[in-house]
Amino acid sequence: MYTPAQLRERLLELGIHRDLRTLTNWRQNGLLPRLQRIGAGRGRGAKWFWHDDPLEQAIAIGWLLRRSGRMDETLLGLWLAGYHVDPVAAQRAWIQHLKREQHRRQRAAFRYSGGFYGLGRSWWRRLQSDEVLRTPWQDYSASDRKVLGDLLGDSQEWMRDDSERDDDAYKNQIAELIIRLAKADRDEVYEWIDDVWKVLDPASLFAITPSIKFIQSISQQERNAANESLVDLASALQQALELVPIDRVNRVMIRVAVMGDFLGPLVAKLRIQVSRQISALPFRQIFLLLHDFVKGVQSTDIITKTDGTLGISERARMEWEATKKKLSQLLTPIGG
């Protein structure tokens, strides 16, 4: 059992100063779980406590509040990172977050000639000038680099400018890029991308107005299923981060950033989208298999190669092959 006073002391041990009034405020705003009550004995009142350890969630709250300055953004970030908050409130916060993001993107695009297309091309120029990423781009011809840059510009336009978005034109552009760079068969690529487009709705994954409509359509059952997948994925990520020699506070911040900014929204939407098309897909079993694999990897399985890059041991490699076989067995009945 963990009391608010104990949580305050444990945070202080990590150099994080939070008074009891702040912790109460977080709890009242739904950022921390509700306290449970237990009688202390006849005539001795009651004690209030959490059953589960709230320390890492409290660390995450502080980081999210510093970054966004908003309670609803913080609640959404917690939910996407697999922490225990009200999913209904998180759904409302997600919609508001996207509306604010749409406004910010529109303001950013106005600073560039060509609007959203110009914004995407600007990002592309910065990517190519980055010392870390510049070398891979040199492997492409000038013509290919222009095609990639155009795609990034068009992606921004497609995702953000809802009045001008043309889904079929964008889908065909991606297909043509794959054909060009991978030298793949045209008919096969178009057949593959059409199949993907039928199962997934990329617009609701990446474009803001379709995303808002999609999130508004999520039912209670779908919301609970998405919550389940977020918790499972966050748990697997947590296990992986524990293999890395970093302190607890930084581990929490990485989890929240990765889940909240990228994996969380993508996985939650994909879980619901795919379930609507393929209701029999065993999501929980898939996540549990991945979690079991990550849990079985030890720090000694992470090895440094002679060229300085990181790899995994033969034991971990064999475990991964066994995990892939189990995943294939789970998915075969769906595909068949």
Cα 220 from Cα 226, distance rounded (Å):
10
Decide which of 96 and 331 is more confident.
96
What separation, in Å, do the N-terminal and C-terminal C-alpha atoms of the chain show?
49
Mind listing the pLDDT tens digit for each residue in 212-265? 999 999 999 999 989 988 998 898 888 888 877 888 999 999 999 999 988 899
Mind listing the pLDDT tens digit for each residue in 47-78? 778 888 899 999 999 999 999 899 999 999 99
Mention every residue, 6+ apart, whose C-beta is less than 8 A from residue 132: none
**β-strand partners of 304:** 310
Helices within 130-263 (DSSP H only): 134-138, 142-160, 167-182, 186-199, 202-206, 208-216, 220-241, 248-258
Mind listing the pLDDT tens digit for each residue in 304-313? 777 666 677 8
> Could you give phi then psi for residue 161, rounded to 5 degrees?
-95, 85
